[in-house]
Structure 1
Amino acid sequence: MRKSLIRFFLRLVTRMAVVLLALTGITVAAENISLSARSAEQPCCGPVTPAAQAILTVLDRSDVEHLWLNHHHVNWETGQPDKPDNYSGPGNHTHCSAFAAAMGARLGVYMLRPPQHSQILLASAQTRWFDSQEGRQAGWMRAADARHAQQLANQGMLVVISYESPDRHRPGHIVIVRPSLISLERLRAEGPYITQAGTHNLLVGNAATAFAGHPGAWPDGVRFFAHALRQ
Structure 2
Amino acid sequence: MKKSLIRVFLSLVTRMAVVLVALTGITVAAENIPSSARSAEQPCCGPVTPAAQAILTVLDRSDVEHLWLNHHHVNWETGQPDKPDDYSGPGNHTHCSAFAAAMGARLGVYMLRPPEHSQILLASAQTRWFDSQEGRQAGWIRAADALHAQQLANQGMLVVISYESPDKHRPGHIVIVRPSLITLARLRAEGPYITQAGTHNLLVGNAATAFAGHPGAWPDGVKFFAHALRQ
Whether these two folds match at TM > 0.5 is yes
Separation in 1, partners of 2:179, 2:69: 24
Structure 1 pair 7–166 and aligned structure 2 pair: CA distance change class (3 A): farther
RMSD value over aligned CA atoms? Answer: 3.2
Q: Which residue is equivalent to 1:97?
A: 97
Structure 1 pair 49–3 and aligned structure 2 pair: CA distance change class (3 A): closer
SS of structure 2 residue aligned to 1:68: coil
Q: Which residue is equivalent to 1:165?
A: 165
Superposed displacement of residue 2, structure 1: 18
Superposed displacement of residue 32, structure 1: 3.9
Superposed displacement of residue 18, structure 1: 11
Structure 1 pair 48–19 and aligned structure 2 pair: CA distance change class (3 A): closer
Separation in 2, partners of 1:70, 1:185: 32
SS of structure 1 residue aligned to 2:32: helix
SS of structure 1 residue aligned to 2:103: helix
Superposed displacement of residue 24, structure 1: 3.9
Q: Which residue is equivalent to 1:57?
A: 57
Q: Which residue is equivalent to 1:16?
A: 16
Separation in 1, partners of 2:166, 2:19: 63
Q: Which moved more, 1:72-81 or 1:9-18?
A: 9-18
Q: Which moved more, 1:121-130 or 1:2-11?
A: 2-11
Separation in 1, partners of 2:9, 2:49: 65
TM-score (norm 1): 0.89
Residue correspondence of structure 1 range 43-54 to structure 2 within 5 A: 43-54=43-54
Structure 1 pair 53–4 and aligned structure 2 pair: CA distance change class (3 A): closer
Deviations 1:183-214 (A, max 9, x none): 11100000000000000000000000000000
Superposed displacement of residue 180, structure 1: 0.3
Superposed displacement of residue 28, structure 1: 1.6
Which ranges in structure 2 are unaligned for 5 or more consecutive residues?
Answer: none
Superposed displacement of residue 35, structure 1: 6.7
Deviations 1:207-226 (A, max 9, x none): 00000000000000000000
Separation in 1, partners of 2:212, 2:138: 30
Q: Count how many residue pairs are aligned between Structure 1 and Structure 2.
A: 231
Deviations 1:48-96 (A, max 9, x none): 0000000000000000000000000000000000000000000000000
SS of structure 1 residue aligned to 2:12: helix
Deviations 1:154-194 (A, max 9, x none): 00000000000000000000000000000111000000000
Percent same amino acid among aligned pairs?
A: 94
Deviations 1:102-147 (A, max 9, x none): 0000000000000000000000000000000000000000000000
SS of structure 1 residue aligned to 2:79: coil
TM-score (norm 2): 0.89
Separation in 1, partners of 2:170, 2:53: 34
Superposed displacement of residue 29, structure 1: 1.9
Q: Which moved more, 1:191-200 or 1:16-25?
A: 16-25
Q: Which moved more, 1:205-214 or 1:15-24?
A: 15-24
Q: Which residue is equivalent to 2:122?
A: 122
SS of structure 1 residue aligned to 2:110: coil
Separation in 2, partners of 1:4, 1:166: 88
Superposed displacement of residue 152, structure 1: 0.3
SS of structure 2 residue aligned to 1:175: strand
Structure 1 pair 62–8 and aligned structure 2 pair: CA distance change class (3 A): closer
Superposed displacement of residue 41, structure 1: 2.1
